[in-house]
Amino acid sequence: MTQYRVYDVFTDAPFGGNQLAVIPDASALPVDELQKIAREFNFSETTFVYPPSDPAHTAKVRIFTPTMEVPFAGHPTIGTAVALSDLGHASPMVMELGIGPIPCEVTGNTAQFTTSAPLEVIGTPDVATVAKCLRLPEDAISTAVHQPTQASLGLPFTFVELKSREALSQCQPIMDAFQEAADKYPSPLDFAIFAYVRTGDRLDARMFAPLDNIPEDPATGSACATVTALLSQIAGTPLAFVISQGVDMGRPSVINAAALAGDPMPIRVSGQAVLTMEGRLVT
């Protein structure tokens, strides 16, 4: 029977952060069951680990949301790295993801990865559409630094700066509005919104992807990497942020993201992960 482990990621304590199911050896699973298994766990992501294509690397990792396979996501990368370390793999390690090899380092229950994928700016959705999705007045959205912006380091999000923490707490995703926005601004991840408030080098954030069966995500490492790349590109210099997410849904998370010198700027993401459950699939 195939073993699995469940980690809470971007937290140092159980029952916070973002849940992740890890299948440390998925070699015996039928490929057509991977999506079904991810849907059964119903976490924002589940990872399936295979032997690497390049023997110099640690593992090949496939990532599934409840509705689709994605090439890259942050908390699955952190959580899977900690899981592999717990199972005896040495650090540093290289995981083969859909966007290419990603180097990771693990110390105890803390992992970090660096992505050198170039920032892709896809579009600038209008303020009215975004405000409607979040059930906010248009004047709650700040455009002083950037317009609402669809951008990606492998997984696209719409990044929206809000004017106050109060406005962030008041966000209430409206499914019909998200569907209209996805039709108007199509992308592989159906108009996922990462809304944030910035205070110096701290971001308070929430992420909503209701069309992908993720009403709200407590920690979104890939979005945190991308917003760091976006704000660094706008500033013209590498920036670093401590990002608080999941507070409004009772699963507080802390993500550290930093741009590094380079062109394009590599982005380093780090955080903790703790094992909460383990068992086996009986299928």
Which segments of the chain does DSSP mark as H helices, in order?
A: 34-41, 74-86, 127-134, 165-170, 175-184, 221-235
Six-digit token string for 235: 């500033």
State which residues form the domain around 222: 120-265
Six-digit token string for 127: 């303020």
Contact yes or no for 52/23 (Cβ under 8 A): no
pLDDT of residue 213: 85
pLDDT tens for 185-214 read 988 778 999 999 999 999 999 999 999 888
151 beta partners = 121, 157
Contact yes or no for 117/154 (Cβ under 8 A): yes
Nearest partner of 194 among 165, 228, 164, 160, judged by Cα: 160
- Residues contacting residue 64 through CB under 8 Å, at least 6 positions apart: 34, 35, 37, 38, 45, 46, 47, 48, 70
Ranges of residues in the chain whose predicted pLDDT is under 50: none
pLDDT of residue 168: 98
Please say whether the dihedral angle defined by the alpha carbons of residues 174, 230, 60 and 109, taken in this order, is positive or negative. negative
Instruction: Verify that 203 and 69 share a domain, yes or no.
Output: no
Count of all residues that appear for the chain in the document? 283
How confident is the prediction for the chain on average, in pLDDT?
95
Q: Active-site residue numbers?
A: 45
pLDDT of residue 24: 97
Instruction: Verify that 128 and 259 share a domain, yes or no.
Output: yes
- Cis bond upstream, residue 92 (ω within 30): yes
Instruction: Verify that 143 and 218 share a domain, yes or no.
Output: yes
pLDDT of residue 146: 98
Q: 40: domain CATH number? A: 3.10.310.10
Cα–Cα separations (whole angstroms), residue 197 to 141, 162, 186, 271: 10, 5, 25, 20
pLDDT of residue 155: 86
Instruction: Verify that 199 and 137 share a domain, yes or no.
Output: yes
Q: How many angstroms separate the CA atoms of 24 and 170, rounded?
A: 39
Instruction: Verify that 64 and 131 share a domain, yes or no.
Output: no
pLDDT of residue 1: 80
Instruction: Verify that 160 and 191 share a domain, yes or no.
Output: yes
pLDDT of residue 80: 98
pLDDT of residue 188: 76
> How many domains are contained in the chain?
2
Helix then strand count (H, E) for the chain reads 6, 17
217 beta partners = 207
